[in-house]
Structure 1
């Protein structure tokens, strides 16, 4: 029988770099900032990779009383945005010897059931995206033994979170609204999400505030669930209503915008010649549409990265980074000046 080569140990990594095993543990455990130089940390990571060293997470968990596992709760697994959030979180977690369990809230916004016999014995912390804090009571607990909770894209005034990671959603809506107003549009239709959520409330307020200071500008509102069929029906109904037809549709996300574009075509109209359409998120769908969609790009991977980093920082007893992540307007072919009256 062929003898298996010995598995590399932290002592092997330490010997290769010329540092102590304690230094190796600090670096590979993600606790080196302020204790080990960046150069040494890089050398340790390189040596561990070259040797094929992997920490014994089971032994470490028993020793430290931790599982090195985080739960990421999202409204849906079918939305590309949340898949990208997971990608960002998982990359940071892997670099620190953590795993991430992805779990969808059954109803989209909560309440989320505990996917374990007891999350507090299976997890070190929870990251929740675009959900109300009180939807997570079954997981994070409300009896004084709460898991650290990091909220993504959530109301900064809501209690219960150890850290928050927010996008500058209001600025995104201001950018897209100012783009349409700058093109000369004054009759706007807001296709709002029918899902009750802080992030969609922020979009509605920012839109109303931006339009308020522009003479002659008006906004009507229609709402639909986050589904292209529901969006198409809502826009068809809104465009058939009495009164002057809107010249631009501002949609709360790209899925709604796709349904809006279908509605415009079904009514024998053209995008953008007759009606401009905008989205929000910059999903892959935005460039699959014809014409391609003007939308607001949200850095989803960065949201996940910042969220996982915040959780690790809290677990280490330090203060996480603050400040909203910037978003950007992406102008494509679905918007143009309104047709002459």
Structure 2
């Protein structure tokens, strides 16, 4: 059996009629080589099928041109759309995105951070601020640039690209109150190690207290971000002694589950029960009824986070947080209390 040997840089140099050093410069610093020589080398690379050895290039340049990202879940469309924007920006600069998923587990995230550092990533993108201090200490010790997204830097000095989760939820809750609702419940995400979910609960609680209402254990349920968890939460609320006329949800997936359960138990939405979400995923506008929600600028966050990471590598980042505005999207799932 004949085994084809992988093409070497010497093969490219021989075909192009140049030195291996010139081939290396074409690969690593093309602007330093005359255009005619570069085109000749590129043609030789294509002819031979040569690909540079990743480890060797990384060692020579002290960079791997990779960025790592750890997200809580791949099941939430909002993270997928944000990461698509990150990937688009990084790809334009010749940088590869390595992705891991923590399933909202801080220990698993810490392990993935260590693994990505061992892989030699040039920087890391993480979701939110809440994680063990040991993870931050490791990043500092290894001098790894890090950008946190979906947050605005309330509890950390690290660079944050996001929005004010508390304020966005507060505005939504005030809108529900303005529609005349007084029996209001919330189905929130799990707040442990999730600053985004915790801030949204704080915002709703602050809004309700400002109009003389409360958000306590009788009208607050924390749930996993799944349709079934949202549905179970509504059934529990409706079996209680203080049935709500409006349910504020921590994200659109929970809201979809609440809406599904409402229909199953015979509640008319929004005539008997108003429902709101958070994120404005594509599903929100095609639900029946269409979901009132908070629009999150996920793509702008992704683009900006990628730009900041690239700037941090080049030493040109100014270190300033970027906080985007969110918008209330009022749709037909929210109605005035009759």
Give the TM interval when normalised to the shorter protein: 0.7 to 0.9
Counterpart residue number, 1:240: 239
The answer to whether structure 1 residue 21 and structure 2 residue 31 are counterparts is: yes
Q: Report the RMSD for the aligned CA atoms in angstroms.
A: 3.2
Give the Cα–Cα distance (whole angstroms) in 2 for the partners of residues 281 and 57 of structure 1: 42
The answer to whether structure 1 residue 265 and structure 2 residue 263 are counterparts is: yes
CA gap 1:337/1:157 in 2 versus in 1, 3 angstroms = closer
The answer to whether structure 1 residue 182 and structure 2 residue 178 are counterparts is: yes
Counterpart residue number, 1:229: 228
CA gap 1:109/1:296 in 2 versus in 1, 3 angstroms = farther
CA gap 1:277/1:118 in 2 versus in 1, 3 angstroms = closer
Q: Secondary structure at the match of 2:198?
A: helix
Which of 61, 69, 73 in structure 1 is aligned with 2:70?
73
Please list the CA deviations of residues 296-336 of structure 1 after superposition, one character each: whole Å capped at 9, or x if unmatched. 01111111111111111211223144231111111111011
Q: Secondary structure at the match of 2:141?
A: coil
Which of 108, 126, 129 in structure 1 is aligned with 2:127?
129
Which of 299, 304, 307 in structure 2 is aligned with 1:306?
304
Give the Cα–Cα distance (whole angstroms) in 2 for the partners of residues 148 and 104 of structure 1: 19
Task: Return the offset for 1:56.
Answer: 7.7
Task: Return the offset for 1:79.
Answer: 1.2
1:315-330 equivalent positions in 2, closer than 5 A:
315-317=313-315, 318-330=317-329
CA contact (8 A) 2:275 2:334 kept: yes
CA contact (8 A) 1:71 1:126 kept: yes
The answer to whether structure 1 residue 92 and structure 2 residue 89 are counterparts is: yes
Q: Secondary structure at the match of 2:132?
A: helix
Give the Cα–Cα distance (whole angstroms) in 1 for the partners of residues 202 and 116 of structure 2: 39
CA gap 1:250/1:119 in 2 versus in 1, 3 angstroms = same
Give the Cα–Cα distance (whole angstroms) in 1 for the partners of residues 68 and 174 of structure 2: 38
TM-score, normalised via structure 1 length: 0.76
Give the Cα–Cα distance (whole angstroms) in 2 for the partners of residues 225 and 207 of structure 1: 18
Q: Secondary structure at the match of 2:68?
A: strand
Please list the CA deviations of residues 62-99 of structure 1 after superposition, one character each: whole Å capped at 9, or x if unmatched. 44210010001101112111111111111111122211
Counterpart residue number, 2:200: 203
CA gap 1:140/1:274 in 2 versus in 1, 3 angstroms = same
CA gap 1:132/1:174 in 2 versus in 1, 3 angstroms = closer
The answer to whether structure 1 residue 280 and structure 2 residue 278 are counterparts is: yes
CA contact (8 A) 1:140 1:147 kept: no
Structure 1: 5+ residue runs without aligned partners? 13-19, 25-51
Task: Return the offset for 1:115.
Answer: 7.7
CA gap 1:235/1:117 in 2 versus in 1, 3 angstroms = closer
CA contact (8 A) 1:133 1:159 kept: no
Give the Cα–Cα distance (whole angstroms) in 2 for the partners of residues 290 and 302 of structure 1: 28
Please list the CA deviations of residues 9-41 of structure 1 after superposition, one character each: whole Å capped at 9, or x if unmatched. 9999xxxxxxx93699xxxxxxxxxxxxxxxxx
Give the Cα–Cα distance (whole angstroms) in 2 for the partners of residues 150 and 204 of structure 1: 24
TM-score, normalised via structure 2 length: 0.76
